[in-house]
Amino acid sequence: MDRSLTRLLPVAVLALGFGFARSTSAAESEPIRIDYRAEASCPGADQFVADVLRRAPRARIAALGESARTFVIAIQRTDTGFEGSLAVQGESSATAARKVTGARCAEVSEVLALSTAIAVDPSAASEPRPATSGSTSAGSADTSGGSAADASGSATPSAEQPAGTSTGSEPRKASEAEPRRATDAGEPAERDDETDVPGPSYDYSASRPSGASLLVGPELHTGIGPSLARGVVLGIDAASAAPGAWLSSIGIEFGYFALSTSRVGGAASSFELYLARPRLCGPALRVSRISLGACLAAELGLLTGSGSEIAFPESTNRFWAAAALPLRLQVDLSRTWFVEVTGGPVLAITRDEFVFQNPDTEIYSVPLVGFSGGLRIGARL
């Protein structure tokens, strides 16, 4: 671990511990949720959760629908290395993010895991890790004169027992190995990446990003005219991170759609639609960076039908109203960028019929049920 991160470790631990920790008796456990976001080169979410649970025996992952604090961890690359932040979201309050920087992502992740553990269990910094029966973990006190690991995570090896080994006859399990390897006394300890074993998979469904977002992308729409309508949509969305909320987001989209020219009886017709689409989205099922939910939307706009290649070409404008029931699949690419795929039925409220006159020749009649589906690129503001 680089010296700059080593100097930050005690500060981060104390600030997070005193800012977040709650008094808990030894017999109690606290349900928590963890929303972990990091670069691809960083330790995975499962490994981070496993590190927290090993350090804080009182912590456990909350069941679906159970009231719990959410720990939001984000690590991103900077010009000088990596920067990580930790914020805690409660049912009625949230804390400001605490930040840690370091040269390596694994080091930043380790500091944030320790800070998260202390926030749940203040004794996590001093209590030793579980060890196999008959063995003594490296850095803990033993009869040969070894000194205990201090709160910052560095250790002084025993004179008779090398750090990272055990006194028992059986080899230590990888999941019980210390995540640090002691060096010379007084020097920063290095992370032993070879002893990290990913833990089980967990559900992060209760944590979701909040705030305003901008979205733009293409969309296909049927039911507007006699052929498939192609268009582009621009929208703004406001998401809520409140646990148990019936609405996960509320927003509005503005779109333009056009159809290719259609021919009927030697004449041509074309259609255009300008619309506004307010939408409400219910609770979403979230697993890691992917969320899936259902929305309810209204389409309100102006549908224009135009005739050509006839003796008296003309255009007519009609009010468009419809209800939409789209499903929304969202994939987070980073803390800022995400991709959204939507699709579902559209129920027409205004069902006009378009005809050529003299003689009357039907061009198109709006059906009761259509379909819309599109792709969005989004950015959180």
Is 200 a domain residue?
no
Could you list the residue range(s) of the whole structural domain that residue 14 is in? 3-195
> Same domain, yes or no, for 358 and 226?
yes
Q: Which residues of the chain have pLDDT under 70?
A: 1-27, 91-94, 96, 125-210, 241-244, 358
Q: Which residues contact 363 (CB under 8 A, 6 or more apart)?
A: 226, 262, 264, 269, 305, 307, 354, 355, 356
CA atoms within 13 A on the CB side of 144: 16
**To which H or E segment does residue 49 belong?**
helix 45-55
| Confidence at residue 287, expressed as pLDDT on a 0 to 100 scale | 87
Cα distance between residue 51 and residue 28, in whole Å: 20
Total domains in the chain come to 2
Q: Encoding tokens for residue 223?
A: 């039911």
Describe the crossing of helices 45-55 and 105-120 by its angle, rounded to 10 degrees.
Answer: 40
Is 272 a domain residue?
yes
**Do the beta carbons of residue 288 and residue 45 sit within 8 Å?**
yes
Chain center to CA of 198: 20
Residue-wise pLDDT tens digits, 9-57: 444 444 444 444 444 444 478 899 999 999 888 999 999 999 999 888 8
Is 203 a domain residue?
no
Q: Give the Cα-Cα-Cα angle 161, 184, 50 (nearest 5 degrees).
A: 75
Report the predicted TM-score, pTM, of the whole model to 2 decimal places: 0.49
**Do the beta carbons of residue 19 and residue 98 sit within 8 Å?**
yes
**Do the beta carbons of residue 248 and residue 280 sit within 8 Å?**
no
Exposure string of 169-206, with b = 16+ CB inside 10 Å and e = fewer, is eeebeeebbbbbbbeeeeebbebeeebbeebeebebbb
User: How many residues in total does the chain contain?
Assistant: 381
Beta strand 30-37 with 59-61: parallel, antiparallel or unpaired? Answer: parallel
> Same domain, yes or no, for 263 and 311?
yes
Cα distance between residue 119 and residue 112, in whole Å: 10
| Confidence at residue 160, expressed as pLDDT on a 0 to 100 scale | 38
Cα distance between residue 311 and residue 359, in whole Å: 12
What residues form DSSP beta bridges with 217?
233
Q: Which residue has the tokens 């909320």?
A: 245
Is 201 a domain residue?
no
Cα distance between residue 291 and residue 286, in whole Å: 4
> Same domain, yes or no, for 259 and 364?
yes
Q: Which residues contact 128 (CB under 8 A, 6 or more apart)?
A: 137, 140, 148, 149
Is 205 a domain residue?
no
| Confidence at residue 286, expressed as pLDDT on a 0 to 100 scale | 83
> Same domain, yes or no, for 104 and 244?
no
Single residue among 195, 229, 244 that ends a domain in this structure: 195
Single residue among 166, 195, 224 that ends a domain in this structure: 195
Q: Give the Cα-Cα-Cα angle 371, 377, 379 (nearest 5 degrees).
A: 135
Q: Which residues contact 88 (CB under 8 A, 6 or more apart)?
A: 20, 69, 70, 71, 72, 94, 95, 119
> Same domain, yes or no, for 71 and 183?
yes
> Same domain, yes or no, for 58 and 141?
yes
Q: Which residues contact 360 (CB under 8 A, 6 or more apart)?
A: none
Q: What single DSSP character describes residue 79? A: S
Single residue among 195, 220, 239 that ends a domain in this structure: 195
CATH number at residue 234: 2.40.160.20
| Confidence at residue 244, expressed as pLDDT on a 0 to 100 scale | 61
| Confidence at residue 356, expressed as pLDDT on a 0 to 100 scale | 75
Is 106 a domain residue?
yes
